[in-house]
Amino acid sequence: MPSTLPAPIDKLAIVVVTYKRQELLANLFDSMTELTATPWRIVIVDNENSRETEAMCAAFNERLANLWGIDTEQPDAQGGTDRVIYAPQLENGGGAGGFSAGTKCAYDLGAQWFWVMDDDVLVIPEGIERLAKWTDRYDVIQG
């Protein structure tokens, strides 16, 4: 049975840009399962447009549904409830192009906050709570 975790930042989308680094992306996904608060959506921008990455994202979405449950309380602008959104790109726009595409995708779905990262990082379990304490005073938080 999925556990209900708090969501201290309303409609937080984590945007990840990846390109041919499935092993690193898998490590990032593993670290995200340890989060002590849930993001609203996780947008994976795939600059490679790889079937392998697409399959990883589908499996990760199922994993999070089993872990956190389905987000029926806040569907996205298209009525979707998936936690993980796969955003393949037709060409490699690099990091900047990927972040632009990912934040646009998240914004169009209804995200209000964006946590952007590459695929070669890990998140700390209480990362969302640490960001949340600044959201009432600032419009942008940059680490």
pLDDT tens readout for residues 92-130: 999 999 999 999 999 999 999 999 999 999 999 999 999
Residue 140 lies in a domain: no
The answer to whether residue 61 sits within a structural domain is yes
Classified as helix, coil or strand, 114 is strand
Mean pLDDT of the chain, nearest integer:
94
Residue 115 lies in a domain: yes
pLDDT of residue 16: 98
Higher pLDDT, 139 or 143: 139
Instruction: Give yes or no for residue 1 having a pLDDT over 60.
Output: no
Q: Please indicate, yes or no, if residue 76 is contained in any of the structural domains.
A: yes
CATH of the domain at 29: 3.90.550.10
Is position 138 within any domain? no
What's CA 119's distance to the chain center, in Å? 11
Domain that holds residue 56: 12-132
Residue 6 lies in a domain: no
pTM of the model: 0.95
DSSP class of residue 96 equals: H
pLDDT in tens, 69-83: 888 889 999 999 999
Question: 98 in helix, strand or coil?
Answer: helix
In this prediction, residue 2 has a pLDDT band, given cuts at 50, 70 and 90, of low
In Å, how far from its chain's centre is CA 122? Answer: 12
The pLDDT of residue 73 is 85
Structural domain total, the chain? 1
Average pLDDT over residues 20-24: 98
Cα angle: 5, vertex 135, 39; to 5 degrees = 30
Q: 24 vs 8, 118, 120, 138, CA distance in Å?
A: 27, 10, 5, 31
Mean pLDDT of 51-60: 98
